């Protein structure tokens, strides 16, 4: 495993998971929503998959007792907490604000855009993403 392999693995699994969400939207709705390829939120969390793959790859390469693994693990936990906590709360607030505008204003500004509601993840979406990332890094390590 090269020194940058955990990085490339994390980047790759992030793109694969995000791509899956874009194609899944097409297959369930029958229409392309190209924003789904770059939007946050949804099952599974591509952020969690990426950082879990990064931490696992670093742990397998450098050792799970190394300082580098500790740093990537800390970073990964912050990203996953943010996805399931802070961004999810912001998404709920956007949902409430959109509903208030729809129900209480007869003529909202024409150029006003609805707030994006799918910002974060449920804890289960983060868990599935993290397991997917860790499993991918472990499988990659065994194959190479």
Residue 31 CB coordination number (10 Å) = 7
CA dist 31 and 15 (Å) reads 20
Give pLDDT tens digits for 32-42: 877 777 777 77
Its domain, for residue 74, covers 5-143
CA dist 129 and 51 (Å) reads 9
Q: What is the pLDDT of residue 107?
A: 62
Choose between 121 and 2: higher pLDDT. 2
pTM for the full model? 0.75
Least confident segment among 41-45, 50-54, 69-73 = 41-45
Structure tokens at 70: 């500790």
Q: What is the pLDDT of residue 111?
A: 52
Q: Which of 88, 99, 94, 3 is nearest to 40 (CA)?
A: 88
Q: What is the pLDDT of residue 1?
A: 60
DSSP 35: G
Confidence band of 8 (pLDDT split at 50, 70, 90): very high
CA dist 136 and 56 (Å) reads 9
Q: What's the total number of domains in the chain?
A: 1
CB 6 within 8 A of CB 61: yes
CA dist 15 and 9 (Å) reads 10
Give pLDDT tens digits for 66-118: 999 999 999 999 998 888 776 666 666 667 776 776 666 666 565 556 655 55
Alpha helices in 30-122 (DSSP H): 46-62, 67-81, 87-104
């Amino acid at each position: 495993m090269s020194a940058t392999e955990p990085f490339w693995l994390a980047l790759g699994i992030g793109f694969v998971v995000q791509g899956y969400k874009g194609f899944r939207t097409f297959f369930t709705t029958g229409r392309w929503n190209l924003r789904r390829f770059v939007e946050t939120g949804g099952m599974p969390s591509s952020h969690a998959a990426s950082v879990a793959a990064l931490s696992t790859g670093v742990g397998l390469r450098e050792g799970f007792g190394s300082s580098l693994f500790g740093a990537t693990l800390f970073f990964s936990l912050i990203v996953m907490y943010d996805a399931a906590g802070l961004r999810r709360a912001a998404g709920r607030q956007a949902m409430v604000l959109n509903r208030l505008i729809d129900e209480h204003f007869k003529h909202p500004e024409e150029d006003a855009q609805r707030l994006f509601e799918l910002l974060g993840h449920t804890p289960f979406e983060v868990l599935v993403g993290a397991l997917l990332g860790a499993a991918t890094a472990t499988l990659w390590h065994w194959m190479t």
